[in-house]
Chain A
Amino acid sequence: MQRRHLLTAAGAAAMFPAILPRRGARAQGTTKASLRLKWLPQTQFAGFYLAKARGYYEAEGIDLTINPGGPNLLTENLVATGADTFGLSGGTDSVFAAREKNLPIVCIGVSHQQTPFVFVSRADGPIRTIQDFKGKTITTWYTGANSVLLGMLAKAGLKPGDFTMQPQQVSVTPFVDGQIDVVTATRYNEFYTLMTRMGRDKLRTFAPEEQGIVFPRDTLIVSETTARQKPELVKGFLRASMKGWREALKDQKAGVDVVMAAAPTLNRDHQEFMLVEAGKLMTAGAAARDGLFWIDQATVKSAHDFFLEHGVIKAPLDLAAAYDRSFLEAIAVADRRA
């Protein structure tokens, strides 16, 4: 009996290779590559999904796999180690942090030209201006947003001891229930949840831009090795991604459809809202003139100086090495504009 049991188990073990995805090049002349997203599938990434579904990467000779991100993954690490070829990583903040730690990654494009999050208080509450944050409880993410908040409040003349700052959990429920006074919300995710649960007119927003702080996020990165050895692959990826994004922003139904096919349990209304908001963030600022994924060096520099001033990064970084827009510049400007 025992032997039979073992045999069954051995049979199961022998089946393993058969169910593993097959690796190795399929078509000739195509390069296998992967894109690691910064988060779970949602329309924030619609253009990449659409470009893949419509075969734009294939047309550039790239057999691209889109790998979703998650709460426990750092895209910079995965790209630096070569586990993923391309990455849509946190933002200028995480690129600075990675470069400071000598991770060999290069930013080849910036997706969100403006700060994608705002700080939210109740419209009927006591907080009317940024000065009113004094003595209040604020929750935020300790992944860069905390520094932006500290910077904003410093400009408004508040010191760190004047308010209570706490790490923000997954849910915005503590804010909805009135347990905290100010919550951090991305324009496309948490803000939608707040709107549906409380109503837009019940919310007052404070954007970093109002305090003169711009904090570009959603950065496209590759490893230094890829940038050096496979510039054509990088350009092809950017060309295909832009094509996908231009079409997703124009035909938003197609953009939402392709993401809903990848993650059918998502809420369609929310995804439609998200694509509109993502589009606004992607075409804001310099991107209106210079096109999608444009790296505006002045904005990157001011974000860098801001982080340096607030001690988030300890020493100045070589921005020319960290942000390389030569791959973008290889594409005609008319093809870059959304």
Chain B
Amino acid sequence: MPVCAHPVPPWLLMGARFILGLVAAALLWEGAVIAFGIRPHILPRLSTILSAIAATPGAYWSGFLRTLLETLIGFAAGAIVGVLNGVMFFRAPVLRDLLFPIFVVSQTIPVIAFGALVVLWFGNTLLAKAVIAFYLTFFPVTVNTLLGLQSVDPRQTALLRSFGASGRQQMLRLQLPMALPQIFVALRLAASLSLVGAIVGEWFGDTTGLGVLLLQAMYNENVVGLWAAILCAAVLGTGFYALVAYAERRIVFWGAEQ
């Protein structure tokens, strides 16, 4: 039997399916609005929304970049502080008992309550938004790092210790790598949360960002603009999530959870 000489690589196949899915969804959207005569202020046609973005691409592009930057800074800071917290709590249970309840309390306060305060403290700066994104992300990373570290088999730790490994070596060679699958679960969650934080942060008086565009559209009853901003936020959120998931697949290649 002759075999196809140039088999389609799997990534191309996946990409093609993904694009096909997008096109199908777009057609369904456009078609449904026309077919059911949905009023434009309930759901505008996709083509109307895309042409609204094309009309002022600069505003959407600079908004996208600004929100992306806030999201990334908040995410990075939240990830670093979260992992460090997890390690600290793992090493010093006293600190965990002392600080963990405070962390829990901090997380039960709705982030919107902090928004006005953050503006008072940091002004209309990029930092203010990054702080809110950070606030939403560090906690899940802390919890999952701690969980991951605690789930390491103590016999493995004992073995390493019997070889004379220092605490630092145990942490870097065994415990942290073993905790990585758990940490990445939190990072994927944090990827979405940091975007929420950045957008909410922009609702407290800023000049650029997807959150600003959302707010302007919302209060001007500009439904097309609202959808355009939602679409941009979706692209940003999905893209960032995909990036973190990709990193997870590469770094935690042994991980069971995908």
Seen from chain A, the residues whose Cβ lies within 8 Å of a Cβ on chain B are 1-3, 5-6, 9-10, 12-13, 16, 19-21, 34, 36-37, 39-41, 65, 67-74, 77-78, 81, 83, 170-173, 189, 193, 262-267, 270
Contact = CB atoms under 8 A, between A and B. Distances in A.
Interface residues of B, number: 46
B59 A264 contact: yes
A71 B219 contact: yes
A74 B218 CA distance: 19
Contacts of B79: 9
Contacts, number: 107
B67 to A, nearest CB: 14
A193 B221 contact: yes
A72 B116 contact: yes
B205 A68 contact: yes
B76 interface: yes
Contacts of A263: 59, 216
A5 B207 CA distance: 33
14 contacts: A3-B172, A6-B80, A12-B76, A16-B127, A19-B126, A41-B216, A68-B205, A72-B203, A73-B119, A73-B204, A78-B119, A173-B221, A193-B220, A265-B56
Contact of A2 (B177, B212, B213, B215): B177
Contacts of A172: 221
Given A264-B59, A267-B220, A70 B76 contact: no
Given A5-B251, A265-B225, A173 B41 contact: yes
B77 interface: yes
B222 interface: yes
Contacts of B149: none
Contacts of A189: 219-220
B69 interface: yes
Contacts of B169: none
Given A70-B215, A270-B220, 14 more contacts: A3-B172, A5-B251, A6-B83, A16-B73, A40-B216, A65-B124, A72-B112, A72-B204, A73-B205, A74-B116, A77-B116, A265-B228, A266-B216, A266-B220
Interface string B159-189: 0000000000000100011001000000000
Contacts of A6: 80, 83
A12 B119 CA distance: 24
B123 A40 contact: no
A5 B248 CA distance: 12
B205 A67 contact: yes
Interface of B: 41, 52, 56, 58-60, 69, 72-73, 76-77, 79-80, 83, 112, 115-116, 119-120, 123-127, 172, 176-177, 180, 203-207, 212-213, 215-222, 225, 228, 251
Ranked nearest first, the 5 interchain pairs of A and B with the lowest CB-CB distance are A264-B59, A264-B56, A12-B76, A70-B205, A83-B120
Contact of A19 (B56, B69, B203): B69
A83 B119 contact: yes
Contacts of B125: 20-21
A42 B206 CA distance: 13
A9 B73 CA distance: 10
Nearest to B84: A6
Nearest to B177: A2
B220 A13 contact: no
Counting chain A CB atoms within 10 Å of each CB, the highest count among B79, B176, B205 belongs to: B205
A34 B206 CA distance: 13
Contacts of B219: 39-40, 71, 170, 189
Contacts of A73: 116, 119, 204-205
Contact of A21 (B58, B126, B204, B220): B126
Nearest to B41: A173
A270 to B, nearest CB: 7
Nearest to B172: A2
Contacts of B58: 264
A265 B112 contact: no
Contacts of B112: 72
A265 B176 contact: no
Given A264-B58, A265-B213, A266-B216, A20 B251 contact: no
